[in-house]
Amino acid sequence: MKTTIRKFQKSRTILFTGALLLFSAVPATAIDIVDRTQAEKVIQGNKEAIPFFSEGAEEVFDEKHQQVGEYLVSAATWFDSFFDNSRSEAEVNKSTARLRLDAGWDKYEDFEFKPRVSLRLHLPGMDNRWNLILSARDDEDFDVDRHPGGSDRREDDANVTAALQYFLLQSEKMNISTTAGLSYNYMYAGLRYRGSYEYGSWQGRLTSRFRYYTDDGFESINEYDLERQVSENLLFRTTLDADWYEEKSGLAHGIVFSLFQVLNSDRAILYDIGNSFQTSPSYQHVDIVFRSRYRQRFYRDWLIFEIAPQVSFPKEYNRNFNPGLIVRLEAEFGYKSYKKQFDNIFRF
C-alpha cells in the first residue's frame, strides 16, 4: 500500500513539474488562465457557471500541446524518411516529388544506370484524405538493390503507374489506406494497414499490404519491426517479413537486423544483415546480404547522395562471394519536415 502511495505521489510530482516546465516560457502577466467572469459567478454560488479557460490560455495550451507532439516524433520515423523507406513514404499525406538516378553493379551484373521519377499530389479539396500518385521507372531494379529480407517486391515490374490513395484512418498508433491504380498492362486495388505497439523501451510496428492485380492475382506483403533507440544517435531494428503471391508457389520470408546511425541532420548510415528464405520447392536459405548505406545531403537541402556497398552469398550462384555497389543521386521537392524532426529528436 505504501509503495502504491509513493508511486502515485511521484507520478503527481512528475506531472506537476512537467506542467511547470511546459508553460514556464509564458510570462505570468501575459494571459489570464481562467475566465474571471465565469469564476466570479461560481464564487457567488452559481455552480453551473464552471470557470472555463480564457481564450488566451487555450491558445497557449494548444500551442504547447502541438510542440510536445512534435518532440515525441520517433527517431524511427525520421530514419525511414531520410532513407526513403516505403513505410514512411506510404503514409505521407502531402505533395512531394522525387527524381532519382541509380548506378548499380555486382559480380554477376553489368554496371547500369536506371532513372526513376515519383510524384505524390495531395488533393486538399477532397476531405484532405486523397493523394494522386504517379511514377515512372526502369522495368526492374538491380539485383544488388533488391529487398534484403524476403522476395522481390511487385514494384520492380512496373515502369509507369498512376494511382489514387485514400486514407481511412490516420493516427500515430494506426494508419489505414486504400489504393487503386493502373499501368499500361494491368490494374490493381488494395488495402494497407500499419499498427504501432509499445513494449516498454521497445517499439513494435506491423505493416500489412493486401492487393489484387488483374494480371497476377492476389498478393500479401507483411512486415513486423521491433526496434529501440539504444543511444542518442543509434537505433536498432529487427524486421521479420513474409510475402505471399498467388502466382508463385511457396512463401518467401526473411529477417533483417539493422542499425541506424545519425551523424547530423544531413548525414546518416544504415548497416544491414539480411537473410532470405523460401519454402518451395523445399525449405531453403536463399541468400545472406551484408550491406551499408551512407546518405548525405550536399550543396542543397533537397539534393541527396548515397553510396551503398554490399556483399552477398546467393544460393543461385553456389554461395560464391558476390560484391556489389549502388550509387544514387536524388532530388526531392515538396513537403519535408526532416529538419524540424531532427531538431526535436537528436539534440546532441
73-119 tens-digit pLDDT? 467 776 777 777 677 778 877 788 888 899 989 888 888 888 888 88
Q: What is the pLDDT of residues 182-237, one digit of tens each?
A: 998 899 999 999 999 999 889 999 999 999 999 989 999 999 999 998 888 899 99
- Is the pLDDT assigned to residue 62 strictly greater than 70? no
Boundary-marking domain end, from 48, 71, 94: 71
- Segment 242-248 shows an average pLDDT of 92
- Is the pLDDT assigned to residue 127 strictly greater than 60? yes
Q: What is the pLDDT of residues 260-285, one digit of tens each?
A: 998 887 899 999 999 999 998 899 99
Q: Please check whether residues 312 and 184 belong to one and the same domain.
A: yes
Quick check: 150 and 287 in contact, CB under 8 A? no
How many of the other CB atoms lie within 10 Å of CB of 175?
20
Q: Please check whether residues 115 and 208 belong to one and the same domain.
A: yes
- Which comes out higher in pLDDT, residue 303 or 271? 271
Out of 121-130, 140-149, 194-203, the most confident range is 194-203
What per-residue confidence (pLDDT) applies to 182? Answer: 93
Helices (H), the chain: 2-22, 36-43, 55-71, 75-82, 86-89, 338-345
Please tell me the total count of domains within the chain.
2
Which is nearest to 314 in space by CA: 282, 286, 273?
286
What per-residue confidence (pLDDT) applies to 25? Answer: 41
The whole-chain average pLDDT of the chain stands at 76
Q: Please check whether residues 106 and 59 belong to one and the same domain.
A: no
| Percent of the chain's residues with pLDDT above 70 | 66
Cell readout for 346 is 537528436
- Is the pLDDT assigned to residue 167 strictly greater than 90? yes
CA separation for the pair 342, 301 (Å, rounded): 13
Could you list the residue range(s) of the whole structural domain that residue 45 is in? 2-71
Provide the residue type at 305 as one letter: F
How many of the other CB atoms lie within 10 Å of CB of 321?
9
- Which comes out higher in pLDDT, residue 137 or 273? 273
Boundary-marking domain end, from 71, 88, 118: 71
Q: Please check whether residues 156 and 239 belong to one and the same domain.
A: yes
> Which is it for the CA torsion 98, 268, 75, 258, positive or negative?
positive
> 32: helix, coil or strand?
coil
What per-residue confidence (pLDDT) applies to 20? Answer: 39
- Is the pLDDT assigned to residue 340 strictly greater than 60? no
- Least confident interval from 5-9, 255-259, 289-293: 5-9
What per-residue confidence (pLDDT) applies to 50? Answer: 40
Q: Please check whether residues 240 and 124 belong to one and the same domain.
A: yes
CA separation for the pair 66, 284 (Å, rounded): 50
Q: Please check whether residues 102 and 187 belong to one and the same domain.
A: yes
